[in-house]
Structure formats: structure tokens, C-alpha cells
Structure 1
Amino acid sequence: MIPKTTIEKEITRLSASLAPIQAQVHTWAEKTVFLKWGVLSRGKFYCLECNHSWKPDHANEACAKFIKCKACAGKLKMQDCNRVYFKEIEYSATLDVYAGYQVVRIICSHKHMKKNCLPSYFHKEVMQHWINVQGEVRSMSISTNVFSHTYDQWQYSLPFWNSPKKFPKLPQIPNQSLQSVPQ
């Protein structure tokens, strides 16, 4: 929505002048938010974190849900299917104080993994919640694909927009009992 009130115009102006999220937050998310994954392919274990591969020691080791990587000592959750590419999406948030507002900045982080390759990461701030002294909350977010049947469909190339303070009430459908139709 286009900012109309003075508060929305002020928040839009302040949002444009916010400092970018520090790289420390992104490295923290890469280490702590994401799971460490492993995959069993053609009789070998592959660590999708450190790019290490090894043969299992025991036959029952292949059936475990978690396994420990021998190189990076990470506890790997085993993928249940064998694919070439693996993707994980997680969210994290930071709390800032800026111009008398508490700003909750929500970050969508992507991790792309492939066997025999180190993982790559992508981080994008997707939403901001501005909380004033009285406790009123105003939100800004980037747009999403409206007709998508999945979540996490952010349109990263678009700027932040003001979200409505109160969503319009949808018409209520009266609760009617189902009546049997004569045949």
C-alpha cells in the first residue's frame, strides 16, 4: 500500500535510512539457524556442509536418521531421498531501536546444497515491524506472489510496502447445516 497517514510516511522515510543488516548476523544464521545435512548416495555418505564423503563402517549405519561427519564432526540429518540439489529456507529476526521505534527486522535465508560442493547462502530482509512507544505496530514487507500455492514466494526485486494496519473484514458466511437433497 502507498503510505497515506503521517505515521506511514514517517516509517517509510525511516525504513529507507536504516543501516543494512550486518554481515555478522548473516554468518550467525549460517552457523546456527540451518540444519547440517547429509545424504547417502551409491553406498557413500556425503556431508553437504564440508564436502566430505566416506563409506559407511556398518550396515546399520545407513539406516540412521542422524550421523556424525568424520571431517567436520557435525551432526548430520540424513536426507530421505537422493537428489542432486538440496534447498533449505529458514527465518531469523533482529531487534533494533531507531528514531524512537523498536524495529523487528525479519530475514529470509536460503541455503543451497549439492553433493561435492560447499553450500551457498542468500539472505534478504523481507519484513519490518515498527513498534512505537504506545505499543502500536506498523508493518512493512516486500510483496509476494499472490497466486502461488506455496509460501516463501517473496519478490526480492521489489521495495518494501506498508502493510495495512487492520485487514478488512471478510463477509461472514452463515453457518448452515447441510440438508439432504432428495434423489
Structure 2
Amino acid sequence: MKPHTNIQKEIVQLAQKLPKLTERQKAYAYEHCFKHYAHRTKGGMITCMECGHRWKSEHRLAEKLCGCTCPHCGRKLEVMDTRQRVFTNNEYFSIVTTCNGYQVFRFFYVKVFKKVMQPAKYSITEVVQRWISSKGETETFARLRCMFGLYYDMWSLNSNMELRSQKRLHAYNIYGVCTYPQIKLLPKLKYIGFRSDFYGSSPYDYYAAVLSDCRIETLPKAGQTCMFRHAITNGIRLKDYWAAIKICIRNRYEIKEPHIWCDYIKLLKHFKKDIHNAKYVCPANLHAEHDRLVQKRNVELREEQMKKDLQKALTDEKKYKEQKGRFFGLSFSDGTLKVKVLESVTEFFEEGMAMHHCVFSNQYYLKEDSLILSASIEGKRIETIELSLDTMQIVQSRGACNMNTSYHRQIIELVNKNIQLIEQRLTA
């Protein structure tokens, strides 16, 4: 990728000036990136997998539990009883340094080949550089990597170190197994006061977050480590929650489940609750309060959707009147119950909302062979009745939430007694 911005052009030039690895740094990587083993045969012959020296085992159990020391190279080794003779492994080693006002993270691909009775062969190649400006702007300088293979470490080690697209930054998120202890930091990062404790995140993620938003550094200092990791991992807009976070810090309330807590704060804002009040922001039972607001919001969303559906359904008003207009005005009563025909799509909507069933959402007003009636007592809806116009029989009669009421049998008898009135309207 060719550099386009001034920062990219500057980084391309500075990358060429970074020093090569010293022998001391290589030795540190080889020492700390891998475990060091001694190969022991069934006959008790031990081979140092670092220098290839062999000697006779003297204390099998003690060597297995406590390890041994190679008499030739002096390396402390873990004893491994196996018939395998060839071993390969690879890890990542990182160096944290600075260059001309940039914080730089250099990642090296370290590979080792070990064979019994041969010295170990190590190789180390720089594969990624992550550059961060003092304002938190980031760029990636790296070798090519296969993005679609099944293996994570498929580097094209013969490719050049070049500027890589920001769109693929996730492909270069490397977590080194060890970091060189001599760390160089920008003055701004030294001022913050953190040097080696990254609270479970990678050094790159930590410093990039701190430089881009100064509020990030407050979280671990105030004991909000879970919220800190969540902010870095998910890239949330911390300023959207900062007022509530400060209330938590002030009241010594630790946010242990930040993903749920953030959703909860969004819901509080939606319902216009005071997020500066510890009563809301620091709930004793976060799950219960979160679920309560979620349920309330779901009801609200359903009502909003029903209203949208009503607007669409009003276009079917004319069709409904053509099909069922002859039944409009029809009602009958036994002195207690009153049964009437639903005369508009709006009445279907109101019936569905009040009774919590699907008479509106399932578009019963479009069913040509069904007549929908509503049974009520002094204006209070009791049950909704579906009558088949083909058979003149009741298909169903449902109360709130599709449950039968104590008036169910009385309603059915009342409708059956007045079937003749419906037939008269049908044949008129």
C-alpha cells in the first residue's frame, strides 16, 4: 500500500531507521518464548534439546518432578518421556519502543526446530510494526499474511515490510508470548504512570486506547478493570457512559458485567431516568433491573410496531367495508353481555391491543369467510369471537391472552341464539 497521508509518509521513512535486533534481544526471545525440554528414552538416556548433549539418567522420578540441568550448557530443563524425536514450535516476541514521537510495537515471529542429538535451531523475523501517534492515530507496517487459510501464522516471510490497510488491522492483532523488559514509552504515557501492567490486554491495545481517550486510564486506577477491558475490546464510546461511570466510582460500585451494564444505561437513558443518581446507576441486582427494563422496552417496541402495522392496514379499510359492510351495526345482548361486529381495521387494532391476541396482527379483517365479533360487559371487552360464514359455526372465542373466561359458555350460547340475525344480513 502506498502512503497517502503525511503520517503514513513519515512512518514509512522512520520504519527504515529502526535498529535491528541485537544478539541480547534474540537470546532473550529464544529463552523466554519457549519451554526447554530434555528428551528421555525408555532406557534412561537423556538428551538436552538445546545443545544435543546426552547423558545417563540417575534419578528418574526426581528428574520428572523437578527437572534436570544439562551438564554441558547448564540449561534448566523439563524432562519429557516420549518416542517423538523431532519438535517444532513458533511464538511471537515483542519490543515496545519509541521513534520520533511515535509509540512503536514491534512483533517478531520466532521459530524453533529441535531434533534429538542435534542443537536447537532458532530463527526470528520481524513481521509487524504497530505505530501510534501521541493523539492515538494508528498505522500498521507489516509483511504479507494469508488471510483466508486455516492457520494463523501463515506469513510470507520473503515479502517486504510495507504499509498495510487500516481495514485489515484485526489481522495484525498479535499477542506476543513475551515482551522485552527494556520498554521505552512516550512522555505522555510515562506521565500516566503505567509501565508493564496492561490489565489483561495487549500492550498495543492498551496504549492505543489510552492515547486516543484519556478517560481510559482512569478505569483501572479506580478499580474498574472489567469495564476497562470491555472498553478496549469492544471499542465503545466511553463518553456516552462517563457520567454514569463517575457515579459508580464515587459510590465504589464495581461494574463486573460491563456489557449488561452498558445496555442497562442505554435503557435508562431511553426511559429518561437520571443517570447521575446512584439509585439507578448502581443497582444491587443488575440482571433483574436490566431484564425489567428490557421487558418494558419490548412492550414499547411491540406497540410501536403495531401502530406502524395499523398505518399499513388502513389501506385495507375499503376492502374490509366491501366484504363485511352488510354486518355493520349488528349487535345483540342477553342483558349482561353485549356482542357486536368489529366495524373497522382500527377496531381490530384496539381489540388486539386490549386483549393481547393476534386478531389484528394476523389480519383477521382480510378473512373473507370469517366474521369477527367482540363480547363486552358495560364496555369492557371479555372475549373475541370468530364465526365462520360458510358453516355458521363459531370457530373460536378467546379472552385476554387467548384464555377462556368465566363467560365463555354464555357467550357461545348467546351467539348461537342469534345466528339467524347474521344469516339475514348475509343473504340481504
Alignment of structure 1 residues 10-89 onto 2, 5 Å: 10-43=10-43, 44-58=45-59, 60=61, 64=64, 67-71=67-71, 72-79=73-80, 81-89=82-90
Q: For residue 93 of structure 2, what is the amino acid of its counterpart?
A: S
When structure 1 is superposed on structure 2, of 93-102 and 33-42 the one drifting more is: 33-42
Q: For residue 92 of structure 1, what is the amino acid of its counterpart?
A: F
Find the structure with the greater CA-based Rg: 2
Preserved contact between residue 144 and residue 155 of structure 1 (Cα < 8 Å): yes
Preserved contact between residue 111 and residue 121 of structure 1 (Cα < 8 Å): yes
Q: Distance in 2 between matches of 1:139 and 1:66?
A: 44
Preserved contact between residue 70 and residue 77 of structure 2 (Cα < 8 Å): no
Residue 156 (structure 1) shift: 0.9
Greater relative contact order structure (CA < 8 Å, 6+ sep): 1
Secondary structure of 2:18 counterpart = coil
Cα gap change, 1:103 to 1:59, in 2 (>3 Å) = closer
Alignment of structure 1 residues 112-127 onto 2, 5 Å: 112-127=113-128
Which position in structure 2 is the counterpart of 1:4? 4
Secondary structure of 1:117 counterpart = coil
Q: Distance in 1 between matches of 2:107 and 2:18?
A: 14
Secondary structure of 1:159 counterpart = coil
Cα gap change, 1:90 to 1:167, in 2 (>3 Å) = closer
Residue 111 (structure 1) shift: 1.7
Q: For residue 123 of structure 1, what is the amino acid of its counterpart?
A: I
Q: Distance in 1 between matches of 2:4 and 2:81?
A: 50
When structure 1 is superposed on structure 2, of 12-21 and 159-168 the one drifting more is: 159-168
Larger strand share, 1 or 2: 1
Over 6 Å off, 4+ runs:
none
Preserved contact between residue 40 and residue 47 of structure 2 (Cα < 8 Å): yes
Q: For residue 162 of structure 1, what is the amino acid of its counterpart?
A: L
Q: Distance in 1 between matches of 2:27 and 2:70?
A: 23
Q: Distance in 2 between matches of 1:115 and 1:31?
A: 19
Residue 65 (structure 1) shift: 6.3
Q: Distance in 2 between matches of 1:147 and 1:78?
A: 38
Q: Distance in 2 between matches of 1:24 and 1:151?
A: 28
Q: Distance in 2 between matches of 1:3 and 1:90?
A: 30
Q: Distance in 1 between matches of 2:83 and 2:62?
A: 17
Which position in structure 2 is the counterpart of 1:149? 150
Q: Distance in 1 between matches of 2:78 and 2:167?
A: 41
CA deviations on 1:102-145 (whole Å, 9 max, x unpaired) are: 11111111122111111121111111011111122211111123
Q: Percent identity?
A: 27
Q: Distance in 1 between matches of 2:144 and 2:95?
A: 20
Residue 78 (structure 1) shift: 3.9
5+ long unaligned stretches in structure 1: 169-183
Residue 7 (structure 1) shift: 1.8
Larger helix share, 1 or 2: 2
Preserved contact between residue 91 and residue 109 of structure 1 (Cα < 8 Å): yes
Secondary structure of 1:149 counterpart = coil
Secondary structure of 2:104 counterpart = strand
Which position in structure 2 is the counterpart of 1:103? 104
CA deviations on 1:22-76 (whole Å, 9 max, x unpaired) are: 22211221233321112223522211123222333355468x3662135145332
Q: For residue 104 of structure 1, what is the amino acid of its counterpart?
A: F
Which position in structure 2 is the counterpart of 1:159? 160
Secondary structure of 1:144 counterpart = coil
Cα gap change, 1:14 to 1:52, in 2 (>3 Å) = same
TM-score (norm 1): 0.77
The count of corresponding residues between Structure 1 and Structure 2 is: 167
5+ long unaligned stretches in structure 2: 170-428
